[in-house]
Amino acid sequence: MSASTPTLPLSESLSALGFATDRLFFAMNYQFTPPKATGLKKRLKQNDKAIDVDIACVLYDDDCVIDDIVWFKQLRDKAESVRHQGDSLNGKDRGEQALYNAPLDQEQIRLHLDHIPAHIRHVAMIVHSYNQQPLAGVEAGEVHLSDDEYNRAFTVDLKQLPRDCYGLWIANLRRGVDDWYLTVQQLPLEAEDIEKLAQQVAHELARALPIAQPTATPL
């Protein structure tokens, strides 16, 4: 393989991971984290919002073109195969039962794999900071993917992310011939809004597409 040819990290099929279900849960919980303005920011009363972490799923077709984005401003894709269960504004707005150490996801996206349209090849899972504060700034928090029996495919600790990470392409689901394949990406993204984040992922997916070889012309 040429050194200039980009590749995605190694993937595992869902069946190899022991997932026999057609329903997955991409979810997040984190502890309420008030603003910590200091110095000039404190005097100017800037950055006075609590950290607001959001998750999203982006659906791409065979050509890595965005087909749909599911996030708190659009809770369903067109086929209603990917469904956001509602936004948590700051990690505590659902009451005491939504604290980080409680067995409750503050945000959750349900993926009904058997209902995802056939032309969808990739589903990207993204986490981002709505107010552009570092994800690692939360007091505690995690993002995970599980099946309906609470078996987890991965867990990402937000506290372990780089200090300058505001958006992250956590993982990707790719449709295969007879199964879906999961790739844990953990790729920091630089854009500020979900549409631009989705475009960055589209670019990375497209870079990994096989390069078409020119057809030889008969003499």
CATH code at 168? 2.60.60.30
What tokens appear for 91 in the block? 């990690």
Position 68, amino acid? D
Residue 170 identity (one-letter amino acid): I
Residue 40 counted as domain residue: no
Residue 28: which pLDDT band, with cuts at 50, 70 and 90? very high
**pLDDT over threshold 80, residue 92:** no
Banded model confidence at residue 131, pLDDT cuts 50, 70, 90? confident
User: Which pLDDT does position 1 carry in this prediction?
Assistant: 35
Residue 101 resides in a domain: yes
pLDDT of 142 > 60? The answer is yes
Sheet strands (E) in 52-179: 53-61, 66-70, 82-84, 107-112, 120-129, 141-147, 152-157, 167-175
pLDDT value of position 5: 37
> Dihedral of CA 62/67/70/75: which sign?
negative
Q: 88 CB contacts (<8 Å, ≥6 apart)?
A: 94, 98, 106, 107
Determine contact, residues 181/174, Cβ cutoff 8 Å: yes
State how many domains the chain has. 1
Lowest average pLDDT, out of 103-112, 168-177, 209-218, goes to 209-218
Residue 133 lies in a domain: yes
Domain that holds residue 61: 22-33+50-207
Q: How far apart are the first and last CA of the chain?
A: 29
pLDDT in tens, 187-208: 999 888 999 999 999 999 999 8
